[in-house]
Amino acid sequence: MSSEPLSARHHAALHLAHRWFAFLEAPGGDLGQHLTIFDPQVRLTGRQGAHVFATDHASLARWFASIPDEVSSHHIVHADYTDRGKDGGSLRMVVAYQTPQGDGVHGSIISYETRIAFGPDEPRFVALDKTPILPNTRPVYEPSWATHRVLGLVHASLAGLPGASAAVHDTLGAVSQVTAHVRSPEGATAYTGILTAIGTDGVPSAWQIAAQDDVRSRFPHLTSIEPFAGRA
């Protein structure tokens, strides 16, 4: 059964989401570079707008500085993109957040509402709201940093954004869904994983990948991407 490919704007929105979460999960990232994914007058709020964290780059930088450098994970359970033409787009997500602490794993289920602008250069968050809606009681911590790093690169590549990977774009082509399976500690300099995608013809494909990474870099570098043959 055929399906519509994700649009370049949809890929660009998901690329922003994965970069947002990856930065939160591992200390040592380049804050100046990270701020470029936000509009200069970005508005960050909580609890459906009741609490305002930031209204521009300066206040957003202060908010980032106030966050403890703790290990965390953010698994996107569901994401829904809506294109709004000249008014940009919106990305809504349900995210399972976790952080391991001395007395166990703490977490919550968070609803994210974001608005995105598409200018002549690169997409940017205009507004984000994060509202906890339920506790996350899963007792086992599951990292997500490397997955976000890979998918940030993959969606940027499929959106045709500058600095992304032409090899990823050419290898995956038009897809209606793409996921990554990468288990690696936060801040790892090298890791391997599996990319899976469903093409517009409805046929799934998989590739084994290897990456070199640096938390200060915009994207990881894929050193290989090969068809996945499975285990013999």
Range of the domain at 178: 145-227
Specify the pLDDT at position 230.
Answer: 64
Q: Are 14 and 121 contained in the same domain? A: yes
* CATH at residue 104: 3.10.450.50
| 195 shares a domain with 123 | no
**Same-domain check for residues 128 and 178:** no
- 224 DSSP β-pair partners: 210
Residues 118 and 45 reside in one and the same domain = yes
State the pLDDT at residue 147.
Answer: 98
Q: How many Cβ atoms are within 10 Å of 126's Cβ, its own excluded?
A: 18
Domain contains 140: no
Q: What pLDDT was estimated at residue 3?
A: 73
Is residue 46 domain-shared with residue 158, that is, in the same domain? no
Last residue of a domain, one of 113, 135, 157: 135
Claim to verify: residue 181 and residue 161 sit in the same structural domain? yes
In a domain, 1, yes or no: no
Instruction: Give the pLDDT confidence score for residue 119 in this predicted structure.
Output: 84
Residue 232 lies in a domain: no
Does 119 share its domain with 43? yes
Q: Which parts of the chain register pLDDT below 50?
A: 1, 232
- 3 within domain boundaries: no
Same domain assignment for residues 128 and 33? yes
- The Cα 193–Cα 208 span in angstroms is 6
pTM for the model: 0.95
Residues 12 and 59 in one domain: yes
Residue that is last in its domain, among 108, 135, 162: 135
For the segment 170-220, what is each residue's pLDDT rounded down to a tens digit? Answer: 999 999 999 999 989 999 999 999 999 999 888 999 999 999 999 999 999
Of 79, 109, 135, the residue that ends a domain is 135
**Is residue 2 assigned to a domain?**
no
**What integer pLDDT is reported at residue 152 of this predicted model?**
98
Q: Are residues 14 and 102 in the same domain?
A: yes
Domain-embedded: residue 44? yes
Number of domains composing the chain: 2
Residue 81: inside a domain: yes
Pairing verdict, β 51-54 and 73-83: unpaired
Give domain status of residue 223, yes or no. yes
What pLDDT score was predicted for residue 232?
42
CB 73 within 8 A of CB 145: yes
Number of helices (H) and strands (E) in the chain: give both, helices first. Answer: 5, 10
Strand order of the β-sheet with 204-212 is: 175-181, 190-199, 204-212, 221-227
* 128/153 same-domain check: no
Same domain, yes or no, for 48 and 128? yes
